[in-house]
């Protein structure tokens, strides 16, 4: 009989395995060794007994159950035992009885014991992985406190979350550019994602080679907008109670975050509740983010009001809708507020766009007046053409389309309508006085953004401009912008500056 008091107790207390699981593991290990020795486990029985201190299920015995047979009928040494041998082991046995014969596991072959031991270790590992996964999954989407354990060569960090031998990954993309990190430093993290790592392939940064990873993968972040949101939720009890709601959040990690809050209760100021008395609540969050600026604004179902709120700390005089279909507006500010509204490197207005999901231009009153006058001229010209067309078109007939020269497009220029753009995008470009590809390429990307085009609009136009190579000797092609003949392989037109890509 084996005394496994120490081993069983260790698994229960240190591995946090429940007793039934431990006993099942011991049983499987012994039965597996039995099968390796005898070729079958059909007649193997494992029983547990209390130890000398009275602790239940700490002593274990494995038995081989054999049928008692006459000597002349004894053919199966594993499942049968002759009567005369059985009588030496127990009194009063008869042919046909079943006899449980205790075995000494030490008599099992070394390979059988090792195989059983390896299997038990694998089971323990799988059990620990399952338990760690359950524990870690419960952390997903929440704040945790971890200790930075190790720096990897790719810039990632390993973080100890007290999940036994499983460390979380704090990747470069989850790190704020405003912060620096030290080994053994304890910080708050947002648990972005938890998954099983068996099917994930990753780079072992310490060995510099690809290998298959197992266990549980836990990804942390301090750069996500969810990190700031979770910090605010922890600091503001009105959010936890449901009296105040975070409607939207936009973040440029390390620089600025904008948070829109709202409430259905008339007696609660959602902005004041979130900021706290003398700004104490939001200051706590800013301190955790190493001084990153955080704007808390009032949400509104009226997009124009919401947009004006979102541009704080700038004071907005009014917001004018240019095109509701493309969600294009202009926020008008005083001259001394223009730089504040746009922000350093355009961060303030970019975050306002993200927060409100509107395309926002910021202009002074004079700039807007010029813009409005330009738009009015085009509207008047458009209405004039329409009036002339209506005189010469009978009911039911379609008015003839305006020619390029009537619109004012140079004969050598390529109209935007000729490159397969979406009608909404064409209208958006026309609204800012861009009618041809040549006019489009006259502006830098930054100037195009200032006109209200986003990065997707700019990329769409650029990708629609195809370079057509002429199949002539010498390998030349014509620039689609200025129509200059260029040698094959030219990447930038020396005449107009257009850029080309070749497959």
Q: What's the pLDDT tens digit per position in 124-173?
A: 666 667 778 888 888 999 999 999 999 999 999 999 998 877 899 999 99
Q: Are strands 328-333 and 359-364 parallel, antiparallel or unpaired?
A: parallel
R_g over Cα of the chain:
38
Buried b (16+ CB within 10 A) or exposed e, 287-306: ebbeebbbbbbbbbeebbeb
Q: What is the pLDDT of residue 497?
A: 64
Query: pLDDT digits over 31-62, tens only?
Result: 888 888 888 999 999 888 887 777 777 788 88
Segment among 166-175, 286-295, 358-367, 451-460 with least mean pLDDT: 451-460
Q: Which residue(s) pair with 159 in the sheet? A: 148, 168
Helix (H) or strand (E) holding 276: none
Using alpha carbons, list the distances in angstroms from residue 432 to 83, 107, 379, 429. 105, 90, 12, 5
Q: Please state, in angstroms and as integers, the Cα–Cα distance from residue 453 to each residue in 122, 179, 235, 378, 468, following that order.
A: 58, 33, 38, 19, 27
Are the C-beta atoms of residues 350 and 252 closer than 8 Å to each other?
A: yes
Q: What is the mean pLDDT of the segment spanning 60-66?
A: 89
- Whose tokens are 């303030």? That residue is 348
- Mean pLDDT score across all residues of the chain: 81
Strands 166-170 and 157-163: antiparallel
User: Going from the N-terminus, what domains does the chain have, and what CATH number goes with each?
Assistant: 2-125 (3.30.1480.10), 138-223 (2.40.50.140), 227-362 (3.30.300.20)
Asked whether the beta carbons of 268 and 155 are under 8 A apart, the reply is no
Phi, psi of 289 (to 5 degrees): -95, 20
Q: What is the mean pLDDT of residues 177-191?
A: 96
Question: In 247-324, which residue ranges form alpha helices assigned H by DSSP?
Answer: 270-275, 280-288, 303-310
| pTM for the model | 0.58
Distance CA 212, CA 197 (A): 9
Q: What residues are paired with 257 via a beta bridge?
A: 251, 294
CA distance 353 to 252: 12
Q: Please state whether the peptide bond connecting residue 313 to the residue before it is cis, i.e. omega within 30 degrees of 0.
A: yes
The sheet that has 328-333: what strands, in order across it?
A: 316-323, 328-333, 359-364
Q: Across the strands, what pairs with 166?
A: 163
Residue 293 has pLDDT above 50, yes or no: yes
Of residues 304 and 408, more confidently modeled: 304
Q: What is the pLDDT of residue 190?
A: 97
Bigger pLDDT: 447 vs 287? 287
Three-point CA angle 141, 144, 148, nearest 5°: 125
Contact, 488 vs 495, CB < 8 A?
no
């Amino acid at each position: 009989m084996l005394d496994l008091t120490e081993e069983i107790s260790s698994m229960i207390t240190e591995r946090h395995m429940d007793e039934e699981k431990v006993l099942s593991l011991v049983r499987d290990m012994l039965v597996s060794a039995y099968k390796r020795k005898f070729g079958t486990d059909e007649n193997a029985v494992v029983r547990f007994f209390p130890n000398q201190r009275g602790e239940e299920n700490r002593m274990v015995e494995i038995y081989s159950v054999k049928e008692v047979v006459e000597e002349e009928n004894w053919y199966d040494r594993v499942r049968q035992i002759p009567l005369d041998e059985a009588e030496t082991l127990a009194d009063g046995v008869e042919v046909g009885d079943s006899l449980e014969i205790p075995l000494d596991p030490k008599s099992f072959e070394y390979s059988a014991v090792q195989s059983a031991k390896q299997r038990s270790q694998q089971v323990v590992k799988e059990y620990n992985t399952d338990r760690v996964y359950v524990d870690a999954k419960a952390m997903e989407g929440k704040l945790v406190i971890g200790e930075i354990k190790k720096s990897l060569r790719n810039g990632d960090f390993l973080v100890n979350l007290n999940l036994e031998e499983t460390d979380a990954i704090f990747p470069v993309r989850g790190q704020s550019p405003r912060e620096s990190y030290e080994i053994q430093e304890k910080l708050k993290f947002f648990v972005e994602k938890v998954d099983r790592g068996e099917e994930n392939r990753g780079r072992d940064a310490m060995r510099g080679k690809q290998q298959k990873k197992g266990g549980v993968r836990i990804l942390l972040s301090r750069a996500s907008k969810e990190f700031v949101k979770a910090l605010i939720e922890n600091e503001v009890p009105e959010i936890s109670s449901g009296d105040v709601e975070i409607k939207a959040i936009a973040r440029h990690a390390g620089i600025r975050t904008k948070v829109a809050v709202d409430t259905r209760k008339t007696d609660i100021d959602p902005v004041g509740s979130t900021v706290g008395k003398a700004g104490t609540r939001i200051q706590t969050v800013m301190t955790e983010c190493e001084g990153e600026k955080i704007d808390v604004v009032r949400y509104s179902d009226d997009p124009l009001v919401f947009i004006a709120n979102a541009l704080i700390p700038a004071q907005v005089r009014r917001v004018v809708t240019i095109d509701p279909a493309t969600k294009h507006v202009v926020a008008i500010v005083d001259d001394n507020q223009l730089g504040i509204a746009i922000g350093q490197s355009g961060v303030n207005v970019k975050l306002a766009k993200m927060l409100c999901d509107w395309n926002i231009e910021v202009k002074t009153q004079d700039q807007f007046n010029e813009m409005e006058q330009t738009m009015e001229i085009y509207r008047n010209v458009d209405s004039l053409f329409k009036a002339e067309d209506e005189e010469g078109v009978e009911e039911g007939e379609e008015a003839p389309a305006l020619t390029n020269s009537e619109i004012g497009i140079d004969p050598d220029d390529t109209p935007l309508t000729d490159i397969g753009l979406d009608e909404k995008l064409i209208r958006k470009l026309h609204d800012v006085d861009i009618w041809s590809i040549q006019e489009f390429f006259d502006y830098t990307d930054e100037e195009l953004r200032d006109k209200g085009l986003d990065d997707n609009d700019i990329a769409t136009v650029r990708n629609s401009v195809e370079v057509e190579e002429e199949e002539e000797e010498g390998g030349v092609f014509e620039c689609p912008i200025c129509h200059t003949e260029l040698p094959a392989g030219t990447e930038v037109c020396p005449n107009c500056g257009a850029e080309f890509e070749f497959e």
